[in-house]
Amino acid sequence: MSSRVVLLGPPGAGKGTQASLIAEGGAGAHIASGDLFRKHLGEGTELGALAKTYMDKGELVPDDVTIRMVLERMEEPDARDGYVLDGFPRTLEQAKALDAALEDQGRGIDAALLIEVESEELVRRLAGRWICRRCQAPYHEAFSPPRTTGCCDSCGGELYQRDDDKPDVVRARLETYERQTAPLVGYYESQGKLARVNGQQSVERVTEDLEAAFGA
Ligand code: ADP
Ligand code: ADP
Ligand code: ZN
């Protein structure tokens, strides 16, 4: 069944891992703002170069360009009935822009799901994360290794470690999350749309809890 879901949570909580599983389960298109920026970066676009200056510092890319990029992606046919937003919105301004755009279509999101994980665990996860250069699927060298070292299970692409997963940038990203994104928890709570899920369980258990929370 298709749904319109927002995944919230700090860097390393498992948003990308879970968004792709929930999307494959039939919720709709997996739309990840970070993946879209990295795609621009890989293609050498102007937007990619702009985004990199913020990503390298663990700061957020400005709202106007981010909102435009994600809302445009949401217009594509695969997202017509449902989507899982991963990493967007990340500021109140983005959340309000999303609500306004959906309201114009007489719609709203169905649920905002917060994946909760302690910060020491986040640091461990990000330090061991490898992602696919081609499809951006995330792996972990200890917690969810690929079948063949250095090679993506789903597309065969080459795995690499993100520059912004280095410890000093991770620290900055966690601070950015607390300052700019954590306030969204209250925003969705006051709309009666927030559900909290314990992210420190196996990948399978987290998926089950998320799907139960939005009624898949
Ligand atoms: P994470 O794995 O930490 O959740 P992402 O891949 O979602 O990371 O994001 C990587 C970087 O891309 C962020 O640190 C930020 O610079 C930029 N970014 C991604 N999504 C957004 C957004 N919604 N608003 C602003 N910047 C974003
Ligand atoms: P986010 O998109 O929120 O930054 P990811 O989905 O990329 O998070 O996950 C961060 C890292 O943690 C990856 O290396 C991933 O393989 C690993 N990971 C994801 N979910 C779990 C889990 N439930 N238990 C252990 N490791 C996990
Ligand atoms: Zn891949």
Catalytic residue positions? 15, 90, 129, 162, 173
Residue 12 is predicted with a pLDDT of 98
26: tokens are: 């039939």
* CB 125 less than 6 A from any atom of ligand 2: yes
Q: In this predicted model, what pLDDT tens digit does every residue of 101-138 receive, in sequence order?
A: 999 888 899 999 999 999 999 999 999 999 999 999 99
Atom of ligand 2 nearest to the CA of 18: 6
Cβ of 60: how many Cβ atoms within 10 Å?
20
Ligand nearest to the CA of 64: 1
**pTM of the predicted model as reported, rounded to 2 decimal places:** 0.97
In this prediction, the residues of the chain whose per-residue pLDDT falls under 70 are: none
pLDDT given for residue 106 in this prediction: 86
Count the residues in the chain: 216
Nearest-angstrom CA–CA distance, 199 and 115: 5
For residue 63, which ligand has an atom nearest its CA?
Answer: 1
Tell me the CA–centroid distance for residue 148 and ligand 1, in Å: 28
The DSSP line for 7-54 is EE--TTSSHHHHHHHHIIIII-EEEEHHHHHHHHHHHT-HHHHHHHHH
Amino acid sitting at position 88: F
